[in-house]
Amino acid sequence: MEKKLYHLPGYYDLAFSYDASGEINFFSECFKRYTDFEMRRILKPACGSGRLLIPLAQFGYYVVGYDISEEMVAYTRDKIAVAGLSHRAEVVLGDMRTARFKDTFDAAINLINTIGYLISDEDILNHFRAISYSLRTGGIYIVELSCANEKLSNEERPDDTWIAERDGIKIQTTWHTERYDLANKRKYNLCKMKIEDEKENRRFMFIEPHIMRLWFFEDFKLLSRAGGFTLRAIYNQNFEPVPLNSHICGDLGNLYFILKKEAEA
């Protein structure tokens, strides 16, 4: 993993935060629809700056987050304490490939393509097995991910620029896909951030590469079976169901995949 973005949690938090209330309501509806027990304990792999962990805890769930970045973990720990949520949330250092919890969670949630940081099939299989180990039978794993188009060419390079401002800090972020490697299922992204921080009297810019898995729906279906998951449903960004037999590709944008840990036969 590359250096800067995930080692500057305050700036990440500002650049990537948005009102999460719609998403939280959607998760709570999914819990009711796809599990048959009361939702209490949620695992948040790669929780970053606690962007979603805090609202989930405020909603009333007990949330455990983990992240590979020490800075993100320290920042989120601080946020939990400041929010007075230490009785409802905790955060630890952990790697998606290996983090396993003895405690049995009711659900796990992994957002904004973060699972894309796992590139090889082996790492992905290990991740699904680890999540399955940490979930109770009948629990669900919600993964937000955008799948690629099979005919993706290197001419198609969507990029996205936005500005976020808070408390005298202004950040312009550009997320740009430089190239796709279809054969090796990799996506070469560049993240460019321009930071103007009046509070700290700092202005700087960085550009860093983020190499990620190029996900195809068929791979997702196959690899997510590890650990006994079945794909129960897919939703789009408007929280509308997408039929499981439809053509799942990049044109649909980021999608929420609902995986359920089934009872062993």
Ligand X SMILES: C[S@@+](CC[C@H](N)C(=O)[O-])C[C@H]1O[C@@H](n2cnc3c(N)ncnc32)[C@H](O)[C@@H]1O
Q: With the CA atoms of 245, 228, 224 and 28 taken in that order, what torsion angle do they form, in degrees rounded to the nearest 10?
A: 80
**CA 46/CA 119 separation, integer angstroms:** 15
Contact 109, 42 (CB under 8 A): yes
Q: Is 47 in the site for ligand X (CB under 6 A)?
A: yes
52: CB partners within 8 A, 6+ apart: 20, 23, 24, 44, 109, 111
Q: Which region, judged by CB under 6 A, interacts with ligand X, from 32-40, 48-56, 151-159, 170-178? A: 48-56
* Interface mask toward ligand X for 176-205; x: CB under 6 A: ------------------------------
Q: Is 93 in the site for ligand X (CB under 6 A)?
A: no
107: CB partners within 8 A, 6+ apart: 27, 31, 35, 39, 41, 42, 43, 135, 139, 140, 141, 142
- Give all strands of the β-sheet with 169-181 in edge-to-edge order: 159-166, 169-181, 186-197, 202-213
**Looking at 11, 30, 43, 48, which residue binds ligand X (CB under 6 A)?**
48
Q: Is 128 in the site for ligand X (CB under 6 A)?
A: no
Q: Is 68 in the site for ligand X (CB under 6 A)?
A: yes
Strand 62-67 to 41-44 pairing: parallel
- Give the shortest CB-130-to-ligand X separation in angstroms: 10
Q: Which is nearer to ligand X, 114 or 224 (CB)?
A: 114
Q: Which is nearer to ligand X, 112 or 242 (CB)?
A: 112
Q: Which is nearer to ligand X, 46 or 147 (CB)?
A: 46
Q: Which region, judged by CB under 6 A, interacts with ligand X, from 111-119, 152-160, 165-173, 182-190? A: 111-119
Q: What is the DSSP string of 204-253?
A: EEEEEEEEEE---HHHHHHHTTTTTEEEEEEE-TTS-B--TTS--SGGG-
- Give the shortest CB-235-to-ligand X separation in angstroms: 16
- Give the shortest CB-151-to-ligand X separation in angstroms: 27
- Give the shortest CB-86-to-ligand X separation in angstroms: 20
Q: What is the DSSP string of 94-149?
A: --TTT---SSPEEEEEE-TTGGGG--SHHHHHHHHHHHHHHEEEEEEEEEEE-PPP
| Closest residue to ligand X in the complex (CB) | 48
Q: Which region, judged by CB under 6 A, interacts with ligand X, from 76-84, 95-103, 185-193, 247-255? A: 95-103
**Looking at 69, 146, 173, 189, which residue binds ligand X (CB under 6 A)?**
69
**Looking at 6, 31, 75, 256, which residue binds ligand X (CB under 6 A)?**
6
- Give the shortest CB-111-to-ligand X separation in angstroms: 4
**CA 213/CA 115 separation, integer angstroms:** 8
Q: Which is nearer to ligand X, 114 or 132 (CB)?
A: 114
Residues in contact with ligand X by the rule CB under 6 A:
1, 6, 16, 46-48, 51-52, 67-69, 72, 95-97, 111-112, 114, 117
